[in-house]
Amino acid sequence: MQTKCHLSALIHEQAKKYGARPVLTFRNFGSLKWKTVSWNQFSMRVRQVSNALVNLGIKPQEHIAVFSQNTIQYLYTDFGAYGVRVVSVPFYATSSEEQIQYMIRDAGVRLLFVGEQEQYDKAHRVFPLCPTLERIIIYDPSVRISTHDPHALYFEDFLKLGEGFPRQPEVDRLMAEANDDDVCNILYTSGTTGESKGVILTYRMYRAAMEANGERVPVTEKDRVINFLPFTHVFERGWAYLSLTVGAQLIINTYPKEIQDSMRETHPTSMSAVPRFWEKVYIAVKQRMESSGPVQRKLLQHALAVGKKRNISYLSKGKRVPIGVEMEYQMLNRTVLSLVRKQIGLENPHIFPTAGAYVSPEVEEFVHSIGLDMLVGYGLTESLATVSCDRRGKPYTVGSVGYPIEGLQVKIGKNNEVLLKGDTVTPGYFHREDANATAFDADGFFHTGDSGYFQDGELFLKERIKDLFKTSNGKYVAPQMVEAMLLVDKFVDQVAVIADQRKFVSASSCPSFASWKSGRKTAALISLRAKTFAGIPVCRK
């Protein structure tokens, strides 16, 4: 059952409900041992952060920022800030000095919370260039603070400012004053096409998103949800908060490269991910098949074929599965497919929301075939992640991004652009009236920049309008589709299509060196050439 309340009070309300039950599984910096934190402990730390912020003089709707990878302290900081109406501005842990300097100055950040040595060093160097910045607060206690830095303190020392809850009456008053029109976060876009823009996320957006996604995405208090994407990413942030509203446990994976080991060690039931994660799983299974003996390879191929027949040919279309197919699937699921899932660390799988880029139909069919319930969706930072997604247990079409969530108006405008309007849509960009004027039309619809269409109620995306390449002979190329086709090849790690104003379509790729070292370079070249010239997806205007 979802707890519906303002985010400022969520952790404390859940603590009343769940008490000593574990909620956060994590590892300390540099440790290999997993630990847990209860709802009561989570609530206590959040109160300490709220009190410490008040003690440092941070006022309602002023800005702090978090420059860190996923950590338990990150969640303490965010929810502690929400408790006293302070705006939390997340930075990606890999951001450059130039990027964090720009965001600190643009948002007027007063306190900057950092994760490890790399983030501290960058923050320390830009500190003199950021007039509003007062302190740097460090999560990792092993970070070496510069001898010439009177402004830095460790998170444990910061928490001491809130020990005993010295400002609790004021904290209670601020929490009572919290409202849906308050700004919760300012989340900066990547800035790949110019200066980064700060997307305003309000509590009204979160409330509407939690309610709509709570009806569509059936995560429960029995789930163990591992965090793969950074909390800075709106998809992971919204998914983590949704999980907390239903009392699910969060497994905090600090280092993305360790996700596979973390999954095998902690046995999650659900996770959100981008398509690239599943592409790598698909490639790994294909490699295992190729290196297996003929009997094992044939058995796995047969199991995948039966899984595809049951889960794609019948269930995805809302058809009843023939008894013979169902019995064969159940047998192969227990004996073969379960071993595939175990290798990933998903012995007890539930649901796996996936979005953030184009999902290759080949990969989507594979994930469903091995018995994982992938819920493909679509969204933006400006829509607080979800615009549409598959409905669990209901028919879906491979290649679509599902049905629009409740309470959100979605329509197709000029040039087939997807337009949005509703409570989950941002009120605008921070201090960017020029961008706001362009992003919203006279009717209040937000222009996503994505091209799509509806078919039987499901939304299908075509391409990112500004990303379309026009070759010199007039053909339009959608790069995402081409790139997704190439990325399922085990010899390709990253790829970028190049076609604008050229007579031909080409691609610049970064090879998977581990695969190339296996001595199959010739096979790699043949594979890439076959995929490239087999038929590039293009569209004519």
For residue 86, the Cα-to-chain-centroid distance in whole angstroms is 23
**Tokens 């239903």 -> residue:** 246
- Across 191-205, 288-302, 397-411, which has the greatest mean pLDDT? 397-411
- 3-state DSSP of 328-371: HHHHHHHHHHHHHHHHHCCCCCCCEEECCCCCCHHHHHHHHHCC
Number of C-alpha atoms within 13 angstroms, CB side, residue 475? 13
Q: Which one-letter DSSP state was computed for residue 309?
A: I
- Residue 206 confidence (pLDDT): 98
- Residue 341 confidence (pLDDT): 96
Q: Which one-letter DSSP state was computed for residue 390?
A: -
Please name which of 21, 108, 37 lies closest in space to residue 71, comparing C-alpha atoms.
37
Query: Using an 8 Å Cβ cutoff, are 280 and 253 in contact?
Result: no
pLDDT at residue 263 greater than cutoff 50? yes
Separation CA 106–CA 118 (nearest Å) = 22
Please name which of 162, 119, 133 lies closest in space to residue 62, comparing C-alpha atoms.
133
461-509 per-position pLDDT tens digit: 988 776 544 343 434 454 655 655 565 555 666 667 776 545 557 777 7
- Hey, which bits of 41-139 come out as E strands? 63-67, 87-91, 111-114, 135-138
Separation CA 281–CA 302 (nearest Å) = 18
Query: What integer best gives the mean pLDDT of the chain?
Result: 90
- Residue 197 confidence (pLDDT): 94
For 72, the 3-state DSSP assignment is helix
β-bridge partners, 417: 451
- Residue 520 confidence (pLDDT): 52
Q: Enumerate the domain spans of the chain.
A: 7-178+217-271, 275-465, 468-540
Is 19 exposed, middle or buried, given 0-12, 13-18 or 19+ CB atoms closer than 10 A?
Answer: exposed
Task: Tell which wins on pLDDT, 533 or 375.
Answer: 375
272-291 per-position pLDDT tens digit: 999 999 999 999 999 888 88
Residue type, 506: S
Fold of 275-465: Rossmann fold (3.40.50)
Task: Tell which wins on pLDDT, 192 or 400.
Answer: 400
Separation CA 533–CA 541 (nearest Å) = 22
216-249 per-position pLDDT tens digit: 999 999 999 999 999 999 999 999 999 999 999 9
- Hey, which bits of 249-349 come out as E strands? 249-252, 270-271
How far apart, in Å, are the Cα atoms of 22 and each of 41, 42, 80, 246, 248?
9, 9, 19, 13, 9
Task: Tell which wins on pLDDT, 511 or 52.
Answer: 52
Query: Using an 8 Å Cβ cutoff, are 492 and 486 in contact?
Result: yes
β-bridge partners, 506: 498
Residue type, 476: Y
Backbone angles phi and psi of 290, in degrees to 5: -65, -30
Is 5 exposed, middle or buried, given 0-12, 13-18 or 19+ CB atoms closer than 10 A?
Answer: middle
- Residue 450 confidence (pLDDT): 94
406-443 per-position pLDDT tens digit: 999 999 999 999 999 999 999 999 999 999 999 999 99
Query: Using an 8 Å Cβ cutoff, are 126 and 65 in contact?
Result: no
For residue 102, the Cα-to-chain-centroid distance in whole angstroms is 23
Number of C-alpha atoms within 13 angstroms, CB side, residue 413? 19
Enclosing H/E stretch for 47: helix 39-55
- Residue 360 confidence (pLDDT): 92
Work out the percent of the chain whose per-residue pLDDT is above 90: 81
Q: Is-same-fold flag (7-178+217-271; 275-465)?
A: yes
Query: Using an 8 Å Cβ cutoff, are 197 and 435 in contact?
Result: yes
**Quick one: CATH architecture of 7-178+217-271?**
3-Layer(aba) Sandwich (3.40)
Separation CA 452–CA 332 (nearest Å) = 38
